[in-house]
Structure 1
Amino acid sequence: MPKNVLTRLHSRALTKQGKIAIVGACALGTAALAVSAGNAETVTTGAPARTAQVADSTALKNVKGTVTDQFATDNVKLDSIAAQKKAADEAAAKKTADEAAKKAAQDRAAQAASRSAERPQMETVAATKTYANNLDGWIRESLDIMRAKGIPGSYYGLHRNIMRESSGNPMAINNWDINAINGIPSKGLLQVIQPTFNAYHVAGTSWNIYDPVANITAAANYAAHRYGSMDNVNSAY
């Protein structure tokens, strides 16, 4: 074989091995780069992971703080609402008590006014009371006046003395006793002389000595001052 042919074959063979070696070296280099790149990614991504953990912890703390603050705010609101309700209840209770006291005062005032209105009405009834125009009526009217004036005496005491003195005649007059001789005869139901009638006349009655009610009342007033009551008189007085 010619020498140059072997040389070319040998050179071609070396060239294939060199190619293989180069390919292997490239593969190893690529793997090394891949490992290096993986390690670089691991190192590179490690720092953000720790940063994320710190961020998560901080966020959790913030959430806890926010929840605690919210609870505190809610408690303050509840306390405020409770205080407002208590104040409203106390105000309502006070208002109810004030209204009850006001109503009681109004009721007392109304009762007092009613009693005041009843008294004049009773007085009017007494003032407009009618009496029979006879001895019974005269005695009863005189007794009502006597009670109003505080003059003692009873129906029986008046009636008994009237019947003895005048037999119930309001126009009776004594023209024969010492008083008549002295010019001041006894007159009327209870035979009263004019000076005595004038001295013991009771306000509200007639000034006419022959008026039955005026005569009885003046005589009873005189007897009360001298004897304590007409009931104590059993003879000429």
Structure 2
Amino acid sequence: MPARGKHRHTKSNIITRGMIAAGTGGIALALPLVSATGAHAATPAQAPQVTKAAKTAVVPNVQLITYKVVAGDTLSKVAQKHPESGGWKKLYQANRAVIGDNPALISPGLKLTVGTKTLKPTAAGTTAKATPAVAKKAATTAVQASAKTYTNDLDGWIKHSLDIMAQHGIPGSYDGIHRNVMRESSGNPLAINNWDSNAVAGTPSKGLLQVIDPTFRAFHVPGTSMDPYDPVANITAACNYAAKTYGSIDNVNGAY
């Protein structure tokens, strides 16, 4: 993405770096187009009818256990302090929404979900306790529900970006993002343009949607990586820029 008012094509002469931050892939993917799915297109599922039996059933009351990150903490250290988290990988998956795409970066003050505890059942007039098996199943379900996972490929990066965009009111669809990604970088998150006017000025276009550093910083979306080569951060910042400039990434059909 060049500075506003400048146009260029980026498909030729793409050069890649050899390193990429955690959470990114290093292969170019050419995925088939799918039907457009806008960031605001999700429709809440209709709430199921609650039967009388369900209302009176004895169910365990599960409460999340949280941990506040302190200086010097890593996910491994937190997982050791809280074995119920299931190890640092499960801890990361359960808290990816707040940690971001780099599991090595957790800031002091960040609140992580490390497990659950079962309290007294909520049905009135009973003192029955949930069995260990029921409590374990409820805890596992609660932790898994606290985070959504994405595949580490172009499909997953776009879907992750769309979810973040929806949280910030940034318009855009899967088809619009995919179409522009394939034109700008052929799906290579490490693509860089070293030949156009931006490159000559010292700000080459980078990543899936070819964003220059000043634009990336100006339109960076909180909660994503500050690395312009990070696929999710690159897509989300580019879509934020496109929304401010063209109304939506869906309206971009050429160099922008």
Tell me which interval the TM-score lies in, with the shorter structure as reference length. 0.3 to 0.5
More helix by share: 1
Higher alpha-carbon Rg:
1
More strand by share: 2
Taking structure 1 as the reference length, what is the TM-score of the superposition? Answer: 0.48
Taking structure 2 as the reference length, what is the TM-score of the superposition? Answer: 0.44
